[in-house]
A and B are shown apart, each in its own frame.
Chain A
Amino acid sequence: MAYINLENRLAKITDLPTLSTVASNIIQITQSPKSSALEVGRAISQDPALVSRILRIANSTFYGFPGKISTIPHAVVILGFVNIRNLVLAASISRIFSSKGGDAYFDREGFWRHSLACGVTSKLIAKRLGMKNPEEVFIWGLLHDVGKLALDAYFKEDFTRVVCLAKEKRILLRDAEQELLGFDHAEVGGIVADKWALPPALIKVIRFHHNPTEANESMRMAAIVHLADVLCRAIGVGDGVDNKVPCIDEESWRLFRFNKQTIKRLFSEMEREIGNAKAFLAFVK
């Protein structure tokens, strides 16, 4: 079978948009410990549409300060750099793809529902592991499948065949991608994330969320998202294309040593938190 050469094809997509200037600036600013809330606020204020979107979500029940945040500098102080960066990234990426793709073959809402559930679950796992900044982990889960959006938007014909095959054979989308294209959405996501100059750890998580052991120094992060993906599918928050649970990576599973009680507690927390995250769904849709 003549597979598509992914790198060549992606290189030819001249209109694959870059991240917004504001998003690129925010990534830079929030990575430096010397940056101030004022600088972050100033960068966001360059984009009035973004300002109103951020204020709307900042005041939703998702963050627990309903109706109390009236300005961007206030939002930066209350929510913190990491949450603000997550919001700006999510807004920029959802905006890039809002006008391209999404139809009866690819359920965009189902895609975001699964992504959001993975973000929330990754954060819960990070909390359970005692990680110091679980908010950071939320964006890993939220963006792990961004390659699907790129495939849907820029490889429409091929992706439609992939989706049809996954549904017809009742297999995982990624298995259908490998069968028809010879690569999967994780590889595409990795290339797109690299092009956007996302933080290096996030690029690795996106690229290796199916096979965390290959992520080397970022294995633990990729394993968190991998586990979150499997747990979400286990309780029925699939990705809008297939409704199957993939096999968990054995090494990742052993890394955390969660017993049955812990997993059950996680399910309970997931259901509650996913329910609370509906405002975020409106934010990215």
Chain B
Amino acid sequence: MEMVDIDSAKEGMIIIKEILNEQGNVLLKEGTALTKDLISKLKSLGISEVCVENPEKNGSPDNMSSAVSTELKELEYRFSNVRGDAIMEELMAAVKEYITEKGSSDGIH
């Protein structure tokens, strides 16, 4: 976990502390993967830093669309407290396959 300056924030980083506006409303909930659009939006709203998970763990395989890679990173975050449990690993594998297959069929149309 690390606070990073918004200018150093990169696509794919996972937000681990929700980002609120001045009124206390949630702009981004924890577990959201940053995208280029989101980073620009946060900058335009005056957000100067964000709390992210393992900032060095960034990037995705070249053959994967960025939307799918974002969804998979968010999935890893949601399951992070139950890793190692056999049933949960099975369930997580099913979600992973579902996201990946959906992503590739979305790409065809």
Q: State yes or no: do A and B come from one complex.
A: yes
Residues of B contacting A245 in the complex (Cβ-Cβ under 8 angstroms)? 78-79, 81-82, 88, 91
Contacts A243-B77, A248-B87 hold; do A234 and B31 have CB atoms under 8 A apart? Answer: no
* Contact between A230 and B91, CB atoms less than 8 A apart: yes
Proximity bits, A229-255, B CB within 8 Å = 1, else 0: 010011110100001111110100100
Q: How many Å lie between the Cα of A246 and that of B97 in the bound state?
A: 20
The total of interchain contacts (Cβ-Cβ below 8 angstroms) comes to 73
Q: Which residues, 185 to 237 on A, are CB-close (under 8 Å) to B?
A: 230, 233-236
A167 within 8 A of B: yes
Interface of A is mostly: loop
Residues of A contacting B95 in the complex (Cβ-Cβ under 8 angstroms)? 234-235, 267
Q: How many Å lie between the Cα of A263 and that of B88 in the bound state?
A: 13
Contacts A170-B30, A268-B98 hold; do A104 and B82 have CB atoms under 8 A apart? Answer: no
When C-beta atoms are compared, the residue in chain A nearest to B85 turns out to be A247
Instruction: Select which of A107, A243, A250, A264 is within 8 A of B31 by beta carbon.
Output: A243
A-B contact pairs, 30 of them (CB 8 A): A104-B20, A104-B26, A107-B26, A167-B17, A233-B78, A234-B78, A234-B79, A234-B92, A234-B95, A235-B98, A236-B31, A236-B74, A236-B75, A236-B78, A238-B29, A238-B78, A243-B30, A243-B31, A244-B78, A244-B80, A245-B79, A246-B82, A248-B91, A250-B87, A260-B94, A263-B91, A263-B94, A263-B98, A267-B98, A268-B98
